[in-house]
Amino acid sequence: MKIHFKSHRKKSWPANALLYNISKLWYRRDPRLWVFGTHEGMKYDDNARYLFEHVNREHGQEIRCVWLAANEEVADTVRKTGGEAYTFDSEEGRKTARRAGVAIYTNGLDDFGPWPKTGGAKLVFLGHGVGFKQTYNAKYSGTALIIKKMMDKIFSWIQRDLTIATSEFNKSQRISIASLPSHANIAITGQPRNDIFRQQGLREKVFKALGLHDDQHLILYLPTYRNQDTGNDSLKNIILNLCNSTELHDVLVKTDSVFVAKLHPLTPSFDIPENDRFRIMNYQEVESNQELLAAGDILVTDYSSVCVDFSLLQRPVIFYLPDKDTFTKNSEAVSDEFYAICKENECFTPAHLSSLISNPSLSATDAINALFESPGIKGSCYSENVFQTINQLFCQQ
């Protein structure tokens, strides 16, 4: 596989490699000042958000937490929750980034801006979920992998001093994807965003937002993104077939369920005739994806890592894969473990999906948890696990 130098990350790699490494020599860093970011600064969400709020709430007297955002809209959202936030290009934002002793991100160092000023800080990679796709260095092999590893030693958008994981299996994934050395700091802590599942009242909150009755059942459909290679129109056709399925409608009526399809944020919107049992959900209708998951009775998904989060709730997961051959042929490689888990609760037609909804099973859920939930962290506060790890590694010197 060739390395294609077309994306922002690859185009700006030479300049960032130079500036980032030089910046390590410029600034004194405070181990009690932590900066947070996610999704290139365009959101206040994900693992970074929930860890940020936990540290502010439980350890705010000892740690100063600052959120770095791409624009004032996101920064204002953070401030309304009581957090401290600045934009990348503001004077205070630049100053904070240059003084922070710990920088915590989910997607990449561009979570702190296209020209991150975190060189010299201890970098903590939380990740944007865990799943089965072979991304980053796991996509490369042969000479391309050798070149990529050499480049990573100079500068990498996902370089880190600490990586969090959820299990030994996930730990091995993290090592492979980022070509981490055997001595790398990898802590099995769980994902901070999933602490929300322990909160009370989320089901009522989501049901009210969706206009559902308390005694109804919520079937969530959260498919992954399809690009041009995997079929731009395939998801629209999949959802249309589900909407028109008499078998599915009959099952929803019989079980007093509502089937809610929430599209990936990158998926173009399209019009589908909705009814009282089947609806398309606007991406902004609930505050967070995790709140929506907490309210669901059954999750229907495909290749999305959302199944790993939902399985922690000990509720049924169904894999609906009508375009399996096309998607897997043209998308990033998916690990063998994914196909093994799918066998537990896999379907390809609306009729088969309907039968699995009628007779829900926890077989896929149990298989997912066996891979991704370490017994050692079960029932613990994931955010506190991450905080204690960072504090012990980087703040006790």
Contact assessment for residue 252 and residue 259, using Cβ atoms and an 8 Å cutoff: yes
Specify the pLDDT at position 280: 87
pLDDT for residue 1 is more than 60: no
In this predicted model, which residue has the larger pLDDT, 169 or 335?
Answer: 169
pLDDT at 129: 86
Helix (H) or strand (E) holding 35: strand 30-37
Task: Return the pLDDT at 254.
Answer: 96
What are the pLDDT digits (tens) for 346-383? 999 999 999 999 999 999 999 999 999 999 999 999 99
* pLDDT score for 5: 39
- Give the type of residue at 103: A
User: Can you give the pLDDT at residue 225?
Assistant: 76
Q: What are phi and psi of 130, to 5 degrees?
A: -130, 150
Overall average pLDDT of the 40-62 stretch = 96
Contacts of 292-297 with C-beta under 8 Å, sequence gap 24+, read 292/206, 292/220, 292/262, 293/197, 293/220, 294/196, 294/197, 294/199, 294/202, 294/203, 294/206, 295/202, 295/203, 295/205, 295/206, 295/207, 295/218, 296/218, 296/219, 296/220, 297/217, 297/218, 297/219, 297/257
* pLDDT at 2 exceeding the cut of 50: no
Q: What pTM, to 2 d.p., does this model score?
A: 0.91
What does the angle CA 168 – CA 226 – CA 137 come to, to the nearest 5 degrees?
Answer: 40
* Mean pLDDT value of segment 18-40: 89
Report pLDDT digits (tens) over 232-281. Answer: 678 888 989 999 999 999 999 999 999 999 887 766 677 777 788 998 88
Average pLDDT, the chain: 90
